[in-house]
A and B are shown apart, each in its own frame.
Chain A
């Protein structure tokens, strides 16, 4: 019962190093620019640190969404998705680079620099009874330890999933696939726990007095959505370069589009729940976070999210037609990736660009933001091409590959 597909396995080949070099080059230049802009502001790199967190969170969220997707495919023994799974596995395994990118921020915390995470300054904590109450959790060393645990978990799961899947490419039996199915459930538990608390630690604690129990789900929803968007863009890019042209077809895009739509909707549901409950109860210890985001230029960003992250893509992706026209689908995928970046920006940046000092929309967005996003992205994509390297771009010997190749939506 072994299916050996007599076919040339599609790989990146020498394109891997070519694309990798371009990504690295662009990334390094953007990083240098970001460092220069950050230094030029003379604010002790405060603005740069915030922008860097936004950039890291954005690229990390795509990897985490990919991790979720791959685990779910094994958990449910999905057949349709085999041809798009290797790209997802590569994205999911690409967390070591985000750990390295994130490391400087942890180093700043350990150094006692509180410009990004205000709780990193013991004097500030001592003056704030609310912060003092949670000091055992928001402790620099404990924080660093948790960050290591989060990234370590993601790295180990992501790499293991990729390793086993690649093993299946050359295996004569189906043991690697069965192993993936057996380990997927505990991997999901580890994923859920780490993502939930990482969202609190990495993003929510930027405003350490604010809290929202749904915050982890919010970050999760955006992450999975951005993964599906990235997946569509990446597959289209590969196909433009003559790869996976016969393997991935409109049926697979249609399903990716359905999930993209579903997670646009799910994100909106979670975002609405968080906002509505806090707005309705009107408790000052919670509302101040939204108040910042409803005043001055931040109100504009909030409205951009409402329309750009929910209403417009919801209408745009609703119809079957839109999900099966690759031009339209790719447009919305790119659009939603931009929205994910705006969302991360909206979560983090109001702490530094507050409405207290009157700022305009042009004033809250800085070249630093763009430079950081591109810089982190260049490094992240470079690492992705390194991982992709000589690997086949689809699981060539997956037992369910025939199902995926023959898959049709009814």
Chain B
């Protein structure tokens, strides 16, 4: 990775909007560049190396899951008093990662943030893959995985129903709704680009497959009119979902009476944290991906800088939420609540707590400096910190409260087993394998959408009239 100095960074003068696509800015070039990744006879060597490693990790994941199913949940570290351990920590972690994609594609769309077009496709794909990883955990934690469908209220002759008053059931609905809408949103956006790939295909197989999934798209005005309408409606529907999913996840904890879990700020605080971690993961993956597939002119340094700003903003929100929680724990005067927070900072998991504070609150503050937030290595390192920090946050919340509750005689210390660790590492394998496959076989950048932010798509575009570039 090298630091590339681009002209867009210096285009901060307020009369014109900065360019969103650099280099050769004509419409055909965008198609060529994005389709080129998919149509190249062979992917870059690094791709083979990466997918070898990640698919090996995925195999490890499947192995661990098979071992768990064959043996029982006892192979994990979950035990009295910590009946929830890495399973829910990892579930919440992955659901959080899944937030960036839909935020970028729905909320930034409603806010007319045109820079989203270069990154939304990849981020949405990450959303789906992260939901896969997240959904795995509750399914395998149920123990008898062959009856996992009982998570849903399936009518049956025994009149057995899940507990509708449990936020765990709300989670089933919230996450599956989110997954469905995100998938629809992602797929609908893909349709015009799949048609492009179909039209450019040179083999029968490619033509058939891309053609099948392109649903007969021919780019007529009528198609576009319906497409844009549907896109707006889906964006409006997905926007509350971005908030609801992690709010419901936070309810898993906050409806209880466990000190450290029961606090009213959890819903918005979890949502801010989820967006924070999601953007962290997008930066972690996009920094190498744009290098590897030659997309630096589409996913510019400016895009990355904007994402870093979102990371800084949401990281600061998370910091404010930590401070508020800590303050109210003292202000509320509840001795158990006070103890939990002191225990987090000074108890047996002090290392996790302070590492979390460093990763989530301190590390992003470096992004105030423009030099740092436009430096690829610096942002990559910070985004890794964000990923670690947000995992630790869930660990701290789940484990510190469970291992030291009201009754000191039942206190304990949670330690993961090798199965916990390998399963978690394996989910990274699954996530990255799916991402690598996506990069190779589907258009990583929304071709049709990027074209709409090119100067040529606007009146006066391309004639040197700077005032004409007022999009956004």
Chain A interface residues toward B at CB < 8 A: 1, 3, 77, 79-80, 129-130, 133-134, 137, 174, 177-178, 181, 185, 189, 192-193, 196, 200, 209, 211-217, 258, 265, 269-270, 273-274, 276-278, 280-283, 285, 399-400, 402-403, 406
Contact = CB atoms under 8 A, between A and B. Distances in A.
Contact of A406 (B12, B333, B334, B470): B470
B324 A216 contact: yes
A185 B325 contact: no
A200 B334 CA distance: 17
Contacts of A189: 316
Contact of A79 (B265, B324, B334, B472): B472
Nearest 4 CB-CB pairs, A to B?
Answer: A213-B265, A214-B264, A399-B14, A403-B470
18 contacts: A79-B472, A129-B333, A134-B331, A174-B14, A174-B15, A192-B316, A200-B331, A209-B333, A211-B331, A214-B264, A215-B264, A217-B268, A269-B243, A276-B255, A277-B251, A278-B264, A281-B254, A285-B334
Contacts of B264: 212-215, 273-274, 277-278
B267 A273 contact: yes
A77 B257 CA distance: 44
A269 B333 contact: no
B262 interface: yes
Contacts of B266: 213, 273, 277
B284 interface: no
A101 B325 CA distance: 31
A37 B332 CA distance: 36
A79 B470 contact: yes
Contacts of B17: 79
A196 B257 contact: no
A41 B334 CA distance: 37
B333 A213 contact: no
Contacts of B13: 1, 174, 399
Contacts of A181: 14
A281 B255 contact: yes
B276 to A, nearest CB: 15
B268 A281 contact: no
Given A277-B251, A277-B264, A211 B328 contact: yes
A1 B15 contact: yes
B255 A3 contact: no
Given A3-B15, A216-B324, 16 more contacts: A79-B17, A134-B331, A134-B333, A174-B14, A177-B14, A211-B332, A212-B328, A213-B263, A213-B324, A215-B264, A273-B247, A273-B267, A273-B268, A283-B257, A399-B15, A406-B470
Given A281-B256, A406-B470, A265 B265 contact: no
A197 to B, nearest CB: 8
Contacts of B333: 129-130, 133-134, 209
Contacts of B243: 269
Interface residues of B, number: 38
A131 B253 CA distance: 28
A278 to B, nearest CB: 7
Contacts of A178: 12, 14
A196 to B, nearest CB: 6
A193 B320 contact: yes
B406 interface: no
Choose among B265, B320, B334 the residue with the greatest number of A CB atoms under 10 Å from its CB: B265
Interface string B324-364: 11001011111000000000000000000000000000000
Contacts of B12: 178
B78 to A, nearest CB: 24
Contacts of B317: 192
B368 interface: yes
A280 B255 contact: yes
Contacts of A130: 333
B199 interface: no
B176 to A, nearest CB: 20
A288 to B, nearest CB: 13
A281 B262 contact: yes
B226 to A, nearest CB: 15
B240 interface: yes
Given A174-B13, A213-B328, A269 B316 contact: no
A212 B325 CA distance: 9
Given A130-B333, A406-B470, A196 B324 contact: yes
A203 to B, nearest CB: 14
Nearest to B317: A192
Contact of A192 (B267, B320, B330): B320
B467 interface: yes
B247 A269 contact: yes
A351 B84 CA distance: 41
A214 B267 CA distance: 9
Given A213-B324, A265-B240, A77 B267 contact: no
B440 to A, nearest CB: 34
A283 B262 contact: yes
Contacts of A215: 264
Given A134-B333, A277-B251, A214 B14 contact: no
A281 B337 CA distance: 14
Nearest to A129: B333
A111 to B, nearest CB: 24
Interface string B260-295: 001111111000000000000000000000000000
A5 to B, nearest CB: 13
A177 B12 CA distance: 11
Q: Which of A133, A193, A406 has the most CB of B within 10 A?
A: A133
Contacts of B328: 200, 211-213
A9 B89 CA distance: 58
Nearest to A220: B268
Interface string B448-472: 0000000000000000000100101
A263 to B, nearest CB: 13
Nearest to B330: A134
A174 B15 CA distance: 9
Contacts of A211: 328, 331-332
Q: Which residue, B14, B256, B334, has most C-beta atoms of chain A within 10 A?
A: B14
A277 B262 contact: yes
B255 A277 contact: yes
A77 B333 CA distance: 43
B139 to A, nearest CB: 26
A361 B264 CA distance: 29
Interface in B103-129: 110, 112
Contacts of A277: 251, 254-255, 262-264, 266-267
A182 to B, nearest CB: 10
A265 B17 CA distance: 31
B88 to A, nearest CB: 18
Given A137-B331, A400-B14, A217 B265 contact: yes
A400 B12 CA distance: 13
Nearest to B265: A213
A174 B12 CA distance: 11
Contacts of A185: 368
